[in-house]
A and B are shown apart, each in its own frame.
Chain A
Amino acid sequence: MVKKLNYKEFDEAIAHGDWILDFYTDHCGPCKMLDATMAKVLKDNPIVSLAKCNIEDDPEYQERFEVTGTPLVLFYHDGVEKARFSGAYGEDKIRECLSVCLYD
């Protein structure tokens, strides 16, 4: 499932379950590259949800998650951060982080 989350609804939405948080901006090339990969990962792993967080619309994200480059991707299990990476890594990296997030 994909959800566009604004900052106000953020904490409540991700409190339960396994979430990939994708912090992005509209004009970031690598972010767009990541989109297609994410769609594939989600299709293969329907037990995970994706939250799309636009850090220009909600600058609060930038401060709280210390975003110093986009895309930044965090993995949350029941509201707790389990893994993260920054940059346009490929599917392998996403899967590696997901494995940690879901089971470690």
Chain B
Amino acid sequence: MYDVAIIGTGAAGISAALTLQSRGKSILLLGKRELSAKMTLAEEIRNYPGLGFVSGKQMQEGFINHLAQMNIGIVQKHVTEIAKTGDSFKILCGQETFDACSVILATGVSSLKTYEGEERLLGKGVSYCATCDGFLYKDQPIAVVCTSKDFEGEIEYLEQTCSKIYLVANYKNPKQFSDKVSMISGKNIRISGNEYVEMIQNDTNEYDVKAVFILRDNIAPSSMIKNLQTENGHIAINRMCETNITGCYAAGDCTGRPYQYVKAAGEGNVAAHSVLEYLSETGYKGNAKTRPYKKYPLSFDDAIDVTDLSNMPTDQTIDDLVRFRLTNGEVEFVEKDVCEKGDIVTITVKGGVGRYNRENIRVTIGQNLYDYEAENKLVGKRTGETISVLKDSEITITIHGIQTPVSKELTDEMVRALNNPAVTTLNQYYQMVKQEAQQAELDLITYHVLSEIHEQTPTTETPEEVIVRLGELEKEFFDKLFAQQMGKGILSMNEEELKKNLGVSTVDEFIASRRDWYQMKYNQLLGLSKAMNIELTDEFDYMNKYEVLMNLQTMAAEKIKNRVLGGMSHG
């Protein structure tokens, strides 16, 4: 959990980050490492105090250097959704989530208009997330409007699920998809349908579809976070940069005109101070650390440093998990005399209407789901007592019973009921859950570290001889593997057996289909070995050994584990 998540790396977001970092708060700064496309566009800026005449490019450099000086790293992720859960916020970037006590929205303005029909049919066939909703249109025709190459993975997912895809690709050099995908013109796009999406139209044609997926870089803040108040397309804020959602602030172009660096930076500063006040008033505190600034390309240790390690399960989380799993959240209700917060009372209410005229309802005291005032007054009362509360009219509440929820005592018996011969005591079960939970988080961390390294590696053209050689090695490897596991290697299989096991009729066809993977593997080998400072010779000679990449990844996982668990025991 971070003290604050800042969405956007323009003048507003960076200004907020600098202030909060100097006040010792933990920050998650989400955006782009090259900061803001808009910032670099400006030819000359003449009204930023102290800078004189500077170009957008110089301004960008200045901001980056300042972040480096303050040791603030940028997490290069695109936020798709923010949800307030209880006292904190969950920030969703595709499939990844982050937690923060507070949020500053500094997303700039989007020049993108919504399409005709988009808002009306949102959730009724119009969707912004392929992996969330794609399967609902299994074997059905759909359309995709895509504005960035970054989302091609999502299109690939839909390709596997849907019967037909009409694709509007509003970006340069889209990749070659399968025959299922037809490119259509993106001019004058309109989405129509009575209650659900029925059709997408462009300047030339109309297409019957069941859904339209709109995959765009810029999501309006109001569709990013539910119930956020806007005014004329901007986020509504007061002088303290507070939005209508407690703990959520906004700054910069996204809050309205004038669209100026200085105004954005100023509001970023105001928002930061409001966050400081909010955190001190509420006492909320994150346990994560601000990502440190690192120069790219990252070394292996750098890549671990910029990864969030604060979500390793604590003893408390493991306790809760064990209890939840063994009891399925079931509790026993034990009778008691005097009502306290957290108890469950059975009451009869008379004298009012609706919920104030009920027999034998159960209320959890202090949750305020029934009535704040009534629940407060019931504290300290006993079974049989009656209280009165003034609502529209005077109502009386009589207590028939008081119970307290008690989680069942955990026993070895419960563990044995799971029928795992290796785990028969609570202690063993606890250890197993702990190990599983730790390993799951370690796997996630390893994945983040490896993708961080992979992402920063510039793609090099894979020499043809490497592709051929990786294919040969894989051929040998699969031959041995199948011989071991099925009693027959792929090189000795006939056409029918190959079809059954590999889905193709010759081994060469299979190897040819793996071409993309060999190119990726080659690039991963180069990137990971460089980051780990390992020469690709001898035991790491990938031209002679099949498992080199796997071995490097295992070594990486081991190193990460030692660092994380070693660090935990020290403090």
CB-based nearest A residue for B122: A69
Cβ-defined contact, B85 with A68, below 8 A: no
- The residues of B that contact A2 with a CB separation of less than 8 Å are 324, 328-329
A99–B370 touching, CB < 8 Å: yes
Number of interface residues of A (CB under 8 A): 42
With A29-B96, A93-B226 known, 18 other A-B pairs at CB within 8 A are A2-B324, A3-B328, A27-B95, A28-B132, A36-B85, A37-B85, A46-B331, A46-B364, A47-B362, A68-B123, A68-B196, A70-B136, A88-B81, A90-B86, A90-B90, A91-B84, A91-B85, A95-B369
Cβ–Cβ contact B86 & A1, under 8 A: no
Interface of chain B residues 86 through 107 with chain A (CB within 8 A): 86, 90, 92, 94-97
Q: 29 A-B contacts, Cβ less than 8 Å apart?
A: A27-B131, A27-B135, A28-B131, A28-B132, A28-B133, A29-B94, A30-B129, A31-B132, A40-B86, A42-B329, A44-B367, A45-B364, A45-B369, A46-B331, A46-B333, A47-B362, A47-B364, A56-B135, A62-B136, A69-B123, A88-B226, A89-B83, A89-B226, A90-B83, A90-B86, A90-B90, A91-B84, A102-B370, A104-B355
Q: How far is the CA of A45 from the CA of B364 in the complex (A)?
A: 7
Give the most central of B83, B90, B369: most A CB within 10 Å.
B369
Is there contact, CB below 8 Å, between A39 and B405? no
Given A33-B97, A91-B86, does the pair A25, B123 have CB atoms closer than 8 Å?
Answer: no
State in angstroms the CA–CA spacing of A1 and B408 once bound together: 12
* Distance between Cα atoms of A104 and B354 in the complex (Å): 6
A89→B344 CA distance, assembly (Å)? 26
- Hey, which bits of chain A sit against chain B, CB under 8 A? 1-3, 25, 27-33, 36-37, 39-40, 42-47, 50, 56, 62, 67-70, 86-93, 95, 98-99, 102-104
In the assembled complex, how far is the CB of residue B266 from the closest CB belonging to chain A, in whole angstroms? 30
Q: Which residues of B contact A29 (CB under 8 A)?
A: 80-81, 92, 94-97, 129, 131-132
CB distance from A63 to the nearest CB of B (A): 11
Q: Which of B81, B196, B405 contacts A46 (CB 8 A)?
A: B405
CA distance A95 to B124 in the complex (A): 25
Q: How far is the CA of A98 from the CA of B328 in the complex (A)?
A: 20
Inter-chain CA distance A99–B368, complex, in Å, is: 8
Docked-complex contact B125 and A68, CB < 8 angstroms: yes
Q: How many whole Å from B397's CB to the nearest CB in chain A? A: 13
Complex interface: chain A residues within 8 A of B129 (CB): 29-30
Q: Is B387's CB within 8 Å of the partner chain A?
A: no
Chain A residues whose C-beta falls within 8 Å of the C-beta of B405 in the assembled complex: 46
Residues of B within 8 A of A89 (CB): 83, 226
- Please name all residues of chain A whose beta carbon is closer than 8 Å to the beta carbon of B328 when the two chains form the complex: 1-3
Quick check: B369 and A103 within 8 Å, CB to CB?
yes
Measured in the bound complex, the distance between the Cα atoms of B92 and A67 in whole Å is: 22
Q: Which residues of A contact B94 (CB under 8 A)?
A: 29
Query: Can you name the residue of chain B whose Cβ is closest to the Cβ of A96?
Result: B369
Please provide the chain B residues from 125 to 169 with a CB less than 8 Å away from any CB of chain A in the complex: 125, 127, 129, 131-133, 135-136
A37 to B85 Cα, complex, angstroms: 6
Residue numbers of B with Cβ under 8 A of A are 80-81, 83-86, 90, 92, 94-97, 123-125, 127, 129, 131-133, 135-136, 196, 226, 324, 328-331, 333, 344, 354-355, 358, 361-362, 364, 367, 369-370, 405
Within 8 Å CB of B354, what residues of A? 104
CB distance from B125 to the nearest CB of A (A): 7
Interfacial chain A residues near B85, Cβ < 8 Å = 33, 36-37, 40, 90-91
Contact of B355 among A30, A45, A46, A103 (CB under 8 A): A103
**Given A29-B97, A46-B364, A47-B344, residue A102 in contact with residue B132 (CB < 8 A):** no
Q: In the docked arrangement, what's the CA distance between A30 and B85, Å?
A: 12
What residues of A have a CB within 8 angstroms of the CB of B226 in the complex?
87-90, 93
A70 vs B137: C-alpha distance when bound (angstroms): 13
In whole angstroms, what is the CA distance A92 to B96 when docked?
Answer: 22
CB distance from A78 to the nearest CB of B (A): 12
B124 touching A68, Cβ below 8 Å? yes
Smallest CB gap from B99: residue in A: A36
CB distance from B259 to the nearest CB of A (A): 30
Within the complex, the shortest CB–CB distance from B465 to chain A, in Å, comes to: 38
Given A30-B81, A33-B85, A37-B85, CB of A88 within 8 Å of CB of B92: yes
Give B157 Cβ to nearest chain A Cβ, in Å.
Answer: 9
* Interface pair A1/B131, CB less than 8 Å apart: no
Q: Are A99 and B369 in contact (CB under 8 A)?
A: yes
User: Which listed residue, A30, A47, A87, A98, touches B123 by the CB 8 Å rule?
Assistant: A87
Q: How far is the CA of A1 from the CA of B327 in the complex (A)?
A: 8
Residues of B within 8 Å of A102, CB to CB, are 361, 369-370
Residues of B within 8 A of A50 (CB): 329
Q: Establish whether residues B324 and A39, one from each chain, have CB atoms under 8 Å apart when the complex forms.
A: yes
Shortest distance from the beta carbon of B117 to any chain A beta carbon, whole Å: 15
A28 to B129, CA, bound (A): 9
CA distance A24 to B285 in the complex (A): 31
- Is B123 a contact partner of A33 (Cβ separation < 8 A)? no
Chain B residue with Cβ nearest A33: B90
A32 to B83, CA, bound (A): 12
Question: In the complex, which residues of chain A have a beta carbon less than 8 angstroms from the beta carbon of B344?
Answer: 46-47
